Amino acid sequence: MDIEVQYRSAAGRTCRDEPAGLRGVPLEERQPLSEPHAYKGRPSIVTKWAAATTGQVVWCTSTVQMDAAMLLDFDADIVCFQSLVVRLHWESEGRGGIVEPAFVARTRDGRRLVFTHPPRQGADMEERVLRQAAEEAGWEILPFRVPQGVLRSSLEVASHFSGPEFAGDASTRRMLLDIFAAPRPLQEGAAVSGLGLRALGYVWHLVWTGELTCDWTKPLLPTSQVWASRLSASGKEA
């Protein structure tokens, strides 16, 4: 099977190369090849996720993909991710087509991940194309995960405080982590901090960044118990 990868160079030019030529190339930092547009009869909804991880807009072609983007943004191991930055053009035995992964990402330890869309009927060739390209380019292929139920609703609440305006300075973060050295209700810890109206936003932001954690199997509310993530719920080292 012959495969060419279409992507943008660091200067923004559209390029094509064989998969092996993409080994080590930071596709996750590149600009999208195009932006999706809504049109009459389109079966999905075009939307976007404002990634706190990078400050970039991540285009999504469905609300399901947007929820998956939210989970990637929340994942502390992911340092950069993007969508619509790579197309795989393939030809085999007189047939051909295009495969577009859902996301590409880079982890803290430098692994490059390519996330596939949910499996569809008759998508065997897409899987073959992705597997061959990944082997040559040094990518790890994963299906994207979608948060469900309580986890989804809790992440959505916390994501409202993901922006840098809620980050606070280093001394503020240290003080709040000390306040939550042992589990206590989120709003209670914010109230005793002496930081006024901004305190609650700072605490929610620490939950989003993972510096504070909670029982993610339960709804995340202002009354929920949260604690510094180096500790378990019992106050012992995790």
Q: Can you spell out the DSSP letters for 17-58? A: E-GGGGTT--GGGSPPS------TT-SS--EEEE-TTTS-EE
Confidence band for 121, pLDDT divided at 50, 70 and 90: low
User: pTM for the whole thing?
Assistant: 0.87
Phi-psi region of 196 (alpha: psi -120 to 50; beta: other; left: phi over 0): left
Mean pLDDT to the nearest integer, 212-216: 96
- Using a pLDDT cut of 70, give the percent of the chain over it: 91
Q: Do residues 31 and 8 make contact, with C-beta atoms less than 8 angstroms apart?
A: yes
Q: Which two tokens stand for residue 68?
A: 């998956």
Going by DSSP bridges, is the β-strand pair 2-8/14-17 parallel, antiparallel, or unpaired? antiparallel
Q: Which residues contact 152 (CB under 8 A, 6 or more apart)?
A: 67, 146
Q: Give me the residue spans of the domains in the chain.
A: 2-143, 149-228
Q: What is the pLDDT of residue 235?
A: 40
**163-207 residue pLDDT tens:** 999 999 999 999 999 999 999 999 999 999 999 999 999 999 999
Q: Enter the CATH code of domain 2-143.
A: 3.40.1350
> Does the pLDDT at position 123 exceed 80?
no
> Does the pLDDT at position 159 exceed 60?
yes
Confidence band for 237, pLDDT divided at 50, 70 and 90: very low
List strand residue ranges (DSSP E) for 93-158, in order. 95-99, 103-107, 112-116, 140-143
Low-confidence winner among 5-14, 32-41, 75-84, 111-120 (lowest mean pLDDT) = 32-41
Q: Which is more confident, 40 or 181?
A: 181
**Type and span of the H or E element at 171:** helix 170-179
**84-96 residue pLDDT tens:** 999 999 998 888 8
